[in-house]
């Protein structure tokens, strides 16, 4: 599982879960890539992967 930051509010078409801006979510890289591909028809980026090593160092 990888950690992602939500950049724009969206609804996951598989789970129907709504993700809010600035929320941090865990999902597989494969699922995240599917979501990113599905969201391309709207403007802008919706997900950004968070580097866990940098986050751990900052805490």
On whether residue 56 sits in a domain, the answer given is: no
Residue 56 has pLDDT above 80, yes or no: no
Residue 36 has pLDDT above 80, yes or no: yes
On whether residue 42 sits in a domain, the answer given is: yes
- Per residue in 20-31, pLDDT tens? 999 999 999 999
On whether residue 14 sits in a domain, the answer given is: yes
Short-list 59, 57, 22, 18, CA closest to 4: 22
On whether residue 15 sits in a domain, the answer given is: yes
Can you give the pLDDT at residue 20? 98
Query: Quick one: pLDDT band at residue 51, thresholds 50, 70, 90?
Result: confident
On whether residue 54 sits in a domain, the answer given is: no
Structure tokens given for 34? 């599917």
- Count of domains observed in the chain: 1
For the segment 31-57, the average pLDDT, to the nearest whole number, is 85
Domain holding 43, by residue range, is 2-48
On whether residue 55 sits in a domain, the answer given is: no
């Amino acid at each position: 599982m990888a950690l992602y930051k939500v950049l724009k509010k969206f609804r996951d078409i598989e789970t129907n879960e709504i993700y809010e801006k600035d929320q941090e979510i865990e999902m597989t890289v494969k699922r995240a890539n599917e979501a990113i591909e599905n969201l391309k028809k709207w403007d802008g980026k919706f997900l950004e992967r968070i580097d866990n090593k940098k986050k751990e160092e900052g805490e």
